[in-house]
Amino acid sequence: MFVRVNAALADRPHTLGDLGLPSESNPIVSLNEFTYRKGTEIYGEKEPAEYVYQVKVGAVRSYKLLSDGRRQIGAFHLAGDIFGLENGNTHRFTAEAVVDTTVRLIRRQSLETVAESDAMVARNLLRMTTKNLQHAEDHMLLLGRKTSLERVAAFLLEMDKRMRATEVMALPMSRRDIADYLGLTLETVSRALSRLHELGIIGFLGNTQRQIVLLDRPQLTSLDLQG
């Protein structure tokens, strides 16, 4: 599904290295760029998986709607992350822009053709698939074995690591998004964040409280390790 806000006028030549897939032969590929407004669907569950995507600017959430209408977010994709790489021919999740987001995309068939003749690209795709599987397993453990406070602690540590441990963690996602990622209610996430604040583990900046300062990473880590 393409809902273009700002699109490149034409395919622009890039190397696979620009997509985070180093190549022995450094082949030139064509990457399109599309910008999606906040809340716009990038692709839907069960739609043909014709493209592989990379977040250039912004953030993307991948989710499923459960039979009772609840939403379960499986992953957040941040700047530089590649997503939409499927084992089958259709997408298993719906992908949606969390904020105004620009993505690069390449035809999956083109990428698979390069991988057939370039061992480095094939290894990188395998590594990426393995990493996605590991994330899914870790997320399943988080949902099944951790308390609400431990889940929120684990989420903050994950974001801290992925945002390269900056002094201020500016989260693009809302507390509702966090709740749907952690399998909790909005109220439970808010209480857990307030408790971490009371304990002096985190601090808040700004009215939205999406800017979080990790004041005590060791104590936050100890909470996560309790699960």
What whole-number distance in Å separates Cα of residue 124 and Cα of residue 121?
Answer: 5
Domain check: are 68 and 153 in the same one? Answer: no
Domain shared by 116 and 169, yes or no: no
Give the separation between CA 40 and CA 36, rounded to whole angstroms: 6
Bridge partners of 107, per DSSP, are 51
Domain count within the chain: 2
Looking at residue 142, its pLDDT comes to 79
Percent of the chain's residues with pLDDT above 70: 89
Which residues lie closer than 8 Å to 48 by C-beta, 6 or more apart?
Answer: 89, 90, 91
Q: Residue 143: phi, psi to the nearest 5?
A: -70, -30
The band of 7, judged by pLDDT with boundaries at 50, 70 and 90, is: very low
Q: Rounded CA gap, 188 and 178, in Å? A: 10
User: CA 57, 63, 68: angle at the middle one, nearest 5?
Assistant: 150
User: Where a domain ends, among 143, 173, 198?
Assistant: 143
Residues 139 and 151 in one domain: no
Residue 170 vs residues 28, 163, 174, 208, 212: alpha-carbon distances, Å? 34, 9, 11, 10, 6
- 181-225 pLDDT, tens digit per residue, is 999 999 999 999 999 999 999 999 877 778 999 999 999 999 866
Q: Which helix (H) or strand (E) holds 67?
A: none
CA 41 → CA 100, 128, 133, distances in Å? 11, 23, 23
- Domain closes at, from 113, 143, 173: 143
Verify that 124 and 166 share a domain, yes or no.
Answer: no
Mean pLDDT of the chain: 86
Provide the whole-model pTM. 0.85
36-45, 55-64, 126-135: least confidently modelled range: 126-135
Q: For the domain that residue 193 is a member of, what is the CATH number?
A: 1.10.10.10
Fill in the amino acid letter for 135. Answer: H
pLDDT in tens, 137-187: 888 877 887 899 999 999 999 999 988 767 789 999 999 999 999 999 999
Q: Which residue has the tokens 């719906």?
A: 94
pLDDT classification of 124: cutoffs 50, 70, 90: confident
Question: Who contacts 90 (Cβ-Cβ below 8 Å, separation ≥6)?
Answer: 46, 47, 48, 49
Residues 159 and 117 in one domain: no
